[in-house]
A and B are shown apart, each in its own frame.
Chain A
């Protein structure tokens, strides 16, 4: 008697709770081992890049909120930095520092959601509750500054929308003071936990070479041992003035990426601490700039300010005719904007390099040879968001 064996195709998602959004993976199984896999994306496509061609540069800022909605502040910053580079301007020092604070808080918040869901997927419920407790503190800070709790729309071309509110610095300091303790708590729960180790160590390996060849970025790349951080390589918003380390891990497995992100939260805290200690005074948005609307008072009393404001809101800015690629280090990796400007107030073409999209493409390489139960561990370790991947 002979037993016939064959590979089986299994469909995972797009409504699976552990695929972190609408990801569908077609798994080819040889028993319980994964012989091959094919991620399918695009379920959340909203045509942002095309929409951008039909709106003024400043009108696109709220759309960037809806890319990686767990790190809206970072997306805002990434986009406005790209436009500022196109225009050849820089935000005032105070605005730059505020943006750094916000984006580093955003990084911590994003990583907290990653840790919470990643751990929950693998079976650690407690961590989920703790992480969301700390994230709540950050969101309260964001709400105080921007008025919103998820999509902040806070950065502006040439600065930020509002100055920091009263009491922000104190509340932020309180958070920074308690956060290292909390981090240690997470470490105690997971880092040496036997179950955690067996579910993450040696799982979903991406070698250094593979990581580079797949074009991965962010913690995925650094988890494979490449020391690459855009904040260091192409500093923006004054990152060159902050002292911080770029954590890496040579293993390239799920555990390695876990350690990198855990350390990144500590480094972000370091940056914020430096930023609030040396927060400069001054305006939070460029004054007398041809790209920024004058203040309300000026618009209502000076005709030249009123006229500038009208043109900026109706026709938009007078941009130089140029093409430009600008990227920043987002929690998920390298978020880049490729802008083709024809000199008008609307981008002729705006391409978004979404780190989630590119990191997902490396997933089949990581999955091959692992068990089917490890899929969710790998997904968790890649930490992608479909708002950004599908755009």
Chain B
């Protein structure tokens, strides 16, 4: 379609097909005031009517004389006022944005908002960033409004809502909150509801207290102080805070945000625009900021006794020296969390070099490395970008709930579904329901544990007879369908859609640790018939710097120690010292391995928060700064380096990891240069795509009788690293960890929601309150990751992805 040429205020402009007048004006820098419009929405709301314009159709000659004779102004023969955010331009028309009549009409609209607006700017948190205040000044409202503040309509202030304070008295009913909740988040938690007094208020559709993703979007987009964060209320005025643009380091999405800092304290987090995340933030990004103050380790310690930092550093050096002299340098292992910054990871590697060991373990990155190895062999190893998701034809997600794992991807997919031109296709292979099911994707509901069989089925559908060339012992399709329990019809549609074009594969890293998954995914991608450049693999994890760990390990492949190797070395008594960069080693390694740590000579921990305790013969704890307290870098899911900026000063004796490692290096008589993180990793393009050989072996699991259920760990959108448990916002949204079982199982065991239950496994037990879901298979127990009060890893006996457990009511005999 051709561009549409028309005039705005006498300026010749041209619109692309589908653009509205307001969008064209914005592009040309012509100012049209608007309140309810935002680029963050897929379509305009059209509620505020501030962006009204008049349109006139004049013969060409008339206009020329008109423009030459006067300053451009509209003639009398205009249309009635039309909202520019909705109206599409017509070729050859003349749009006028600021006639006297329009000015007056806008003033009347603002007066309507003012009529019942309380006189409380002095105490309102929004003062200074309130768009109603701006509108009053802009349209210069001076008189003509009779107000009776003694007889305002009595509206309900929702103080009982968690996190969000809703005061409808301040609302101008622009519906931006309703729109963002529906359009961007896909939640629909808010609506404009008719009330008894005769007017409308923003409320939940059924009037119950708000229960949603608590993502801050409605608070952030509210033009007035109607929706306010309870965590921020009355803390500071908007103009007193410094706004620091930074990156969010709570999950690998790496969203851009603004930290609002006053007096060395983060008081709230606001959106940053323009940004690749469109200013959108999730509960963690927006409300977990005060994790920086709670439960911090403030002093270095030796065997739980507080010591001076320099003493502990000296002691670390001496003990390491003793151990390496006695047992050799190979007796030291370094274990890293994948949620620490790239600087900390490089420091860990430098420390390993100083000691002379190559034993580095990133337990959480094991899945991603497995995938990379498989993809490299297949010739598919590439770094996809977020744009690829926005443009990709088909998204195939397996074993992962995107809403809970990477909210950013969830927003991208929702936004895509609203688009008219780039809708794309979505295939969700999971054992339970998710929020994205609302978008009507192709659903492949399989029995948990049968992911390999499901992938084999899909590969067979796509590659046909060729499958037999690279898969050995391929069972009959009917057997596979029986094992997986998927709907044959959905399978057919899914296979057809995978074949149709560009493909993004999203898979949970926990699932990737299972043998064979990575290879089969590579085979599936090749079988889809796409070019390598049209295939993107997205390993989904909650650990913020999983990509940084991946890059470090791919660059230094001989430093790779895997979990199995580590377990073996530990069991054989080869390891005498472990240095851990992270908060809690018992959260990333199964319980039997952790219990073996008690026998080793030295355990050094570089941690930010107080979580759990690991007992070796000698324990050293060194407090380190969080990413709020130092300039640090992370690598996000699309492989881009982003910076979490230093926004507050750490307390005395809390140093960044790299400064501490520098001090240790000095003891080794080495001067450590400052770390500069570069992301110059390049992937070799491979011309040839190779199917990977795979031998199918059915799993012969003997279900132990005393442990009849399977425990699976899932992600929760309210937690990522366990340190996020100490943020107030996530805590309010979800106070404690839980165990989820199906309603059928609950009925069979006579358990009710919120009952305290005990989960028992071979290697441990823990208590949790019960949550009953309708969409779970009957033999599953699901426990979320990242809650400080429940550690699913303590139940695991090996590095497997699921564990056999039993559940019973806590405190009583079953």
User: Footprint of B on A, CB under 8 Å?
Assistant: 288-290, 294, 300-308, 310-312, 314-315, 318
Contact with A along B730-758 (1 / 0, CB 8 A): 00000000000000000000000000000
B contact residues around A305 at 8 Å (CB): 142
A contact residues around B114 at 8 Å (CB): 303-304, 307
Given contacts A303-B117, A304-B145, contact A310 B140 (CB under 8 A): no
Report whether A310 and B133 are in contact in the complex, using a CB–CB cutoff of 8 Å: yes
The docked-state distance in angstroms from the alpha carbon of A312 to that of B137 is 8
Chain A: which residue is nearest B143 at the CB level? Answer: A288
B138 within 8 A of A: yes
Shortest C-beta distance, B28 to chain A (Å), equals 15
Report whether A310 and B141 are in contact in the complex, using a CB–CB cutoff of 8 Å: no
B388 within 8 A of A: no
Report whether B142 and A304 are in contact in the complex, using a CB–CB cutoff of 8 Å: yes
Report whether A290 and B119 are in contact in the complex, using a CB–CB cutoff of 8 Å: no
B contact residues around A307 at 8 Å (CB): 114, 121, 130, 132-133, 136-137
The docked-state distance in angstroms from the alpha carbon of A288 to that of B647 is 42
B118 within 8 A of A: yes
Report whether A314 and B239 are in contact in the complex, using a CB–CB cutoff of 8 Å: yes
Partner among A302, A303, A308 whose Cβ is within 8 Å of the Cβ of B137:
A308
Interface residues of B in 85-132 (CB under 8 A from A): 110-111, 114, 117-119, 121-122, 127-128, 130, 132
A contact residues around B119 at 8 Å (CB): 300-301, 303, 306
Given contacts A303-B114, A307-B133, contact A314 B128 (CB under 8 A): yes
Interface of B is mostly: loop
Partner among B118, B136, B147 whose Cβ is within 8 Å of the Cβ of A311:
B136
B134 within 8 A of A: yes
Q: Shortest 8 CB-CB distances between A and B: which pairs? A: A288-B142, A304-B141, A307-B133, A314-B128, A307-B136, A290-B140, A311-B137, A310-B121
Interface residues of B in 491-533 (CB under 8 A from A): none
The docked-state distance in angstroms from the alpha carbon of A318 to that of B31 is 13
16 additional contacts (CB under 8 A) given A288-B140, A308-B141: A290-B137, A300-B119, A302-B145, A304-B110, A304-B136, A306-B122, A307-B130, A307-B133, A308-B136, A308-B140, A310-B122, A310-B133, A311-B137, A314-B127, A315-B239, A318-B137
B contact residues around A314 at 8 Å (CB): 127-128, 238-239
- Between-chain CB contacts (< 8 Å), 18 pairs: A294-B142, A303-B117, A303-B118, A303-B121, A304-B111, A304-B136, A306-B122, A307-B114, A307-B121, A307-B133, A308-B137, A308-B140, A308-B141, A310-B127, A310-B128, A310-B133, A312-B137, A315-B239
A contact residues around B138 at 8 Å (CB): 290, 318
The docked-state distance in angstroms from the alpha carbon of A311 to that of B111 is 17
User: Footprint of A on B, CB under 8 Å?
Assistant: 110-111, 114, 117-119, 121-122, 127-128, 130, 132-134, 136-138, 140-143, 145, 147, 238-239
Report whether A302 and B147 are in contact in the complex, using a CB–CB cutoff of 8 Å: yes
A contact residues around B142 at 8 Å (CB): 288, 294, 304-305
The docked-state distance in angstroms from the alpha carbon of A289 to that of B127 is 21
The docked-state distance in angstroms from the alpha carbon of A305 to that of B144 is 12
Shortest C-beta distance, B330 to chain A (Å), equals 59
B contact residues around A302 at 8 Å (CB): 145, 147
Chain A: which residue is nearest B145 at the CB level? Answer: A304
A contact residues around B137 at 8 Å (CB): 290, 307-308, 311-312, 318
Chain B: which residue is nearest A304 at the CB level? Answer: B141
A contact residues around B110 at 8 Å (CB): 304
Report whether B140 and A303 are in contact in the complex, using a CB–CB cutoff of 8 Å: no
Chain B: which residue is nearest A290 at the CB level? Answer: B140
The docked-state distance in angstroms from the alpha carbon of A354 to that of B187 is 61
Shortest C-beta distance, B262 to chain A (Å), equals 15
A-B contact count (CB 8 A): 62
Chain B: which residue is nearest A302 at the CB level? Answer: B147
Shortest C-beta distance, A317 to chain B (Å), equals 8
The docked-state distance in angstroms from the alpha carbon of A306 to that of B120 is 9
B contact residues around A311 at 8 Å (CB): 128, 133-134, 136-137
Shortest C-beta distance, A283 to chain B (Å), equals 14
Report whether A303 and B147 are in contact in the complex, using a CB–CB cutoff of 8 Å: yes
B contact residues around A301 at 8 Å (CB): 119
The docked-state distance in angstroms from the alpha carbon of A310 to that of B119 is 11
The docked-state distance in angstroms from the alpha carbon of A310 to that of B128 is 7
Shortest C-beta distance, A286 to chain B (Å), equals 11
Shortest C-beta distance, B168 to chain A (Å), equals 16
Chain B: which residue is nearest A289 at the CB level? Answer: B140
Shortest C-beta distance, B406 to chain A (Å), equals 37
The docked-state distance in angstroms from the alpha carbon of A304 to that of B137 is 8
Chain A: which residue is nearest B118 at the CB level? Answer: A303
The docked-state distance in angstroms from the alpha carbon of A339 to that of B187 is 49
The docked-state distance in angstroms from the alpha carbon of A294 to that of B111 is 17
The docked-state distance in angstroms from the alpha carbon of A97 to that of B111 is 35
The docked-state distance in angstroms from the alpha carbon of A127 to that of B138 is 55
B contact residues around A304 at 8 Å (CB): 110-111, 114, 136, 141-142, 145
The docked-state distance in angstroms from the alpha carbon of A308 to that of B119 is 12
Chain B: which residue is nearest A298 at the CB level? Answer: B142
The docked-state distance in angstroms from the alpha carbon of A311 to that of B133 is 6
Chain B: which residue is nearest A343 at the CB level? Answer: B31
Chain B: which residue is nearest A314 at the CB level? Answer: B128
Chain A: which residue is nearest B124 at the CB level? Answer: A310
Chain A: which residue is nearest B111 at the CB level? Answer: A304
Shortest C-beta distance, B30 to chain A (Å), equals 13
A contact residues around B145 at 8 Å (CB): 302, 304
The docked-state distance in angstroms from the alpha carbon of A142 to that of B110 is 42
B contact residues around A300 at 8 Å (CB): 119
Shortest C-beta distance, B50 to chain A (Å), equals 15
Shortest C-beta distance, A232 to chain B (Å), equals 31
The docked-state distance in angstroms from the alpha carbon of A18 to that of B747 is 101
Shortest C-beta distance, B575 to chain A (Å), equals 58
Partner among A288, A289, A290, A308 whose Cβ is within 8 Å of the Cβ of B133:
A308
Shortest C-beta distance, A261 to chain B (Å), equals 45
Chain B: which residue is nearest A288 at the CB level? Answer: B142
The docked-state distance in angstroms from the alpha carbon of A314 to that of B125 is 13
The docked-state distance in angstroms from the alpha carbon of A300 to that of B119 is 8
Interface centre among B110, B117, B130, B141 (most CB of A within 10 A): B141
The docked-state distance in angstroms from the alpha carbon of A305 to that of B143 is 9
Chain B: which residue is nearest A294 at the CB level? Answer: B142
The docked-state distance in angstroms from the alpha carbon of A381 to that of B775 is 94
Shortest C-beta distance, B125 to chain A (Å), equals 12
The docked-state distance in angstroms from the alpha carbon of A308 to that of B137 is 5
A contact residues around B130 at 8 Å (CB): 307, 310
Interface centre among A288, A311, A314 (most CB of B within 10 A): A311
Shortest C-beta distance, B457 to chain A (Å), equals 61
The docked-state distance in angstroms from the alpha carbon of A188 to that of B133 is 63
The docked-state distance in angstroms from the alpha carbon of A310 to that of B138 is 13
Shortest C-beta distance, A230 to chain B (Å), equals 30
The docked-state distance in angstroms from the alpha carbon of A294 to that of B121 is 15
The docked-state distance in angstroms from the alpha carbon of A288 to that of B141 is 8
Shortest C-beta distance, A92 to chain B (Å), equals 15
A contact residues around B143 at 8 Å (CB): 288
The docked-state distance in angstroms from the alpha carbon of A189 to that of B121 is 63
The docked-state distance in angstroms from the alpha carbon of A306 to that of B117 is 11
B contact residues around A303 at 8 Å (CB): 114, 117-119, 121, 147
Report whether B147 and A306 are in contact in the complex, using a CB–CB cutoff of 8 Å: no
The docked-state distance in angstroms from the alpha carbon of A288 to that of B142 is 6
The docked-state distance in angstroms from the alpha carbon of A302 to that of B134 is 15
Interface centre among A306, A307, A310, A315 (most CB of B within 10 A): A307
Report whether B121 and A315 are in contact in the complex, using a CB–CB cutoff of 8 Å: no
B contact residues around A290 at 8 Å (CB): 137-138, 140
The docked-state distance in angstroms from the alpha carbon of A290 to that of B134 is 11
The docked-state distance in angstroms from the alpha carbon of A153 to that of B121 is 28
Chain A: which residue is nearest B126 at the CB level? Answer: A310
Report whether A315 and B136 are in contact in the complex, using a CB–CB cutoff of 8 Å: no
The docked-state distance in angstroms from the alpha carbon of A303 to that of B141 is 10
Shortest C-beta distance, A325 to chain B (Å), equals 24
The docked-state distance in angstroms from the alpha carbon of A301 to that of B114 is 12
Chain A: which residue is nearest B127 at the CB level? Answer: A310
Chain A: which residue is nearest B107 at the CB level? Answer: A304
Shortest C-beta distance, B169 to chain A (Å), equals 11
